[in-house]
Amino acid sequence: MTRSWTPGTTDAALSAIAATPRLVVALDFDGTASPFVLDPMAARAIPEVAAQMERLSAMPDTVVAYVSGRSMHDLREITEHTDESPVALAGSHGAQYWYPGSGESDVESAAAEEDGTKEELWEAARPIIDRFDGAELEPKTFGMGVHTRAATPEVERELFAEIDALVAERFPHWRRRKGHHVLEFSSRLEGKDAAMTALRERYDATGILFAGDDVTDEDAMRVLVDGDLGVRVGEGETAAGLRVRNPQEIAQLLEALADERAARRE
């Protein structure tokens, strides 16, 4: 049962995760740490979220991370991430990682049967995408995303139908994901559930707080266990325990989490 969280109130699940001995706080980026913007590469975490992530990262036995469908290169750019950052990153839906103190970390491939290369997919998709106003191709490390943030709903439906038909014919084994005004295809099979497992094992976490706003984030929500907490941002069906309305309320929730965690350690 998902409960709406009201800023300024206490919640038993939030208090419990604040008390866990080794905590990982993992956020999706677009729509969770950052509002949606027309130019995907212009996305940035709102200052309130960035401040609380920095505060949490400085606490003992507490790790913060961004978990995104973005390729690692793009994720590092939009998170304004440096080599000295204390923030862990999981990119490409859990197929790429960057860890503080060690940098990028390769993972064993969970690749779909290859029907072709990503470059061949881009070449086939571009003429279709170019015919539709407000549509944009995002090349990715293991595939592509088709963005329609500036398109009408009618354009989105028609474009996605054509791209789906193309991929079904030529790249039938690639993983398909549909999110808020984006359709993605990847030759890798990992989802954000894999990122939860990787972060839990890497940091021997006794609890994970994961927050996300989209269908792809539900992969992560569904593998959370007792002692974890899922937070859904915005509307939509979810396996999360709590729901907030927007990135501003995510910042307030992180502040409440940090306040409780600090108080318990005094």
pLDDT in tens, 97-134: 999 999 998 776 655 556 789 999 999 999 999 999 99
27: left (phi over 0), alpha (psi -120 to 50) or beta: beta
d(CA 55, CA 255) in angstroms, rounded, equals 9
Q: What is the DSSP string of 126-143?
A: HHHHTTSTT-EEEEETTE
Task: Convert the pLDDT of each residue in 220-255 to its tens digit.
Answer: 999 999 999 999 999 999 999 999 999 999 999 999
Asked if 118 and 144 touch (Cβ cutoff 8 Å), the reply is yes
What is the structure's pLDDT at 265? 74
Task: Convert the pLDDT of each residue in 32-67 to its tens digit.
Answer: 999 999 898 999 999 999 999 999 999 999 999 999
Q: What mean pLDDT do residues 71-95 have?
A: 96
Asked if 68 and 62 touch (Cβ cutoff 8 Å), the reply is no
Instruction: Report the DSSP pairing between strands 143-147 and 136-140.
Output: antiparallel
Q: What are the φ/ψ torsions at residue 201 (nearest 5 degrees)?
A: -70, -40
What is the structure's pLDDT at 10? 87
Query: Could you tell me the domains of the chain?
Result: 3-107+190-264 (3.40.50.1000), 118-186 (3.30.70.1020)
Task: Convert the pLDDT of each residue in 147-170 to its tens digit.
Answer: 999 999 999 999 999 999 999 999
DSSP label of 173: T
Question: Model-level pTM?
Answer: 0.87
Strand (E) positions, the chain? Answer: 3-4, 23-27, 62-67, 88-91, 96-99, 103-105, 136-140, 143-147, 175-179, 182-186, 207-212, 229-233, 242-244
Residues above pLDDT 70, as percent of the chain: 96
d(CA 111, CA 108) in angstroms, rounded, equals 9
DSSP label of 46: -
